[in-house]
A and B are shown apart, each in its own frame.
Chain A
């Protein structure tokens, strides 16, 4: 089987949370290239101007400055070149309204940031095996 190389874009403003994802990737031998944007606006610019290779997966925080996760999702789904990207929301917000808004914008999953690092690693490992099983859309 050919190992699929999926690019991942992490949209997250908290430095420790970024380290969290990076360490979880390393611990699980997830070698997918990981790109980082610090808020929705920055992510959108990076994607629209081709500053990063087209990611198949976006891991998205909700509470961020400038453009929050839900606003970013709306822009993403309105952009013909970007709307196919799978988005996993990874947030501390347990609000029903955030979950409903996010799923209405066609997200692949909604993960609550747990306090425990172990639980977080399990979430990332699950995401990775999911993408090993699934056939991603071909991107141009």
Chain B
């Protein structure tokens, strides 16, 4: 094994212990590496909390626990770690699990109008006109949002008559 190969192996073991909760490599002070892992986890969570404030607020006390569980299985990806993208991956996992809070729908939409998550976990700015609909807020008001070229976003409240009609007069 070359110096680079030996080093790559040792650094990867340490990075996995810190970011994914894998066993601390032999010889390291387990407690200290644990303290560092905790500090890194807190930093990652705080950054996502700040870039996805509605999501964090909607999950309340659950946010920290859910994020940490998810983060251990989903380390930061090999592109520029970006809390907006990290949060979007977390949010996506909540949607798949049907656990995404309705109160944060607007935040999700804001992201989707402007950005696309790449396969590598990075962000790509959407171009041209983007149109999305969503049910927003506690009342689940239906909204239509259009992102114009240049980035301006216009929102409309859409009143689609309920097929059952409202009141029979």
Task: Tell whether A pairs with B.
Answer: no
Give the A-binding residues of B (Cβ under 8 A).
none
